[in-house]
Structure 1
Amino acid sequence: MFFDTTDLQNQEIYLRLYKTADENIEKGYVPAYYFKIVRCADDTEVGQCDLRIGHNDNTKYGGNIGYEIYKSFRGNHYASKACKLLFLLAKKHKMDEVIITCSPENMASRKTCEYCGAELIDIIDVPIRHQLYKMGQRKTCQYIVRL
Structure 2
Amino acid sequence: MSRRLLNHNSVTETVIGDDIALVLNRVLNENEALERIPAYLFDIVFHDGSRIGQIDLRLGETQTLVLYGGQVGYGIDRIHRGHGYAAAACELLREIALDVGFRELWITCNPDNQASVKTCERIGAQFVEQVDVPESCELYGRGDRVKLRFLWKLR
TM-score by length of 2: 0.85
| Per-residue Cα deviation, 1:88-141 (whole angstroms, up to 9, x for no partner) | 111112112101100011111111111111111111111110011112211100
- Paired residues of 1:23 and 1:29 also in contact (CA < 8 A): yes
Aligned residues: CA RMSD: 1.8
TM normalised by structure 1 equals 0.90
Provide structure 1 residue ranges, at least 5 long, that are not aligned to the other structure: none
Give the share of equivalent positions with the same residue, in percent: 39
1: distance between equivalents of 2:14 and 2:70? 23
Partner Cα distance (1:23, 1:146) in 2? 25
After the TM superposition, which residues 89-104 of structure 1 pair with which residues of structure 2 at under 5 Å, given as runs?
89-104=96-111
> Structure 2: 5+ residue runs without aligned partners?
1-7
The code of the aligned residue for 1:54 comes to: G
Q: CA deviation at 1:143?
A: 0.5
Q: Which amino acid is 1:126 matched to?
A: V
Number of residue pairs matched by the alignment: 144
Q: Distance in 2 between matches of 1:71 and 1:3?
A: 32
Q: Deviations over 1:29-84 (max 9, x none)?
A: 222100110011x3221111110113103322100111110011011111111111
1:23–1:8 distance in 2 versus 1, CA, 3 Å: same
The alpha-carbon distance between structure 1 residues 86 and 127, as it changes in their structure 2 partners (threshold 3 A), is same
- Residue 29 of structure 2 aligns with an amino acid whose one-letter code is D
Q: 3-state SS of the aligned residue for 2:139?
A: helix
Residue correspondence of structure 1 range 1-147 to structure 2 within 5 A? 3-23=10-30, 28-40=35-47, 42-60=48-66, 61-147=68-154
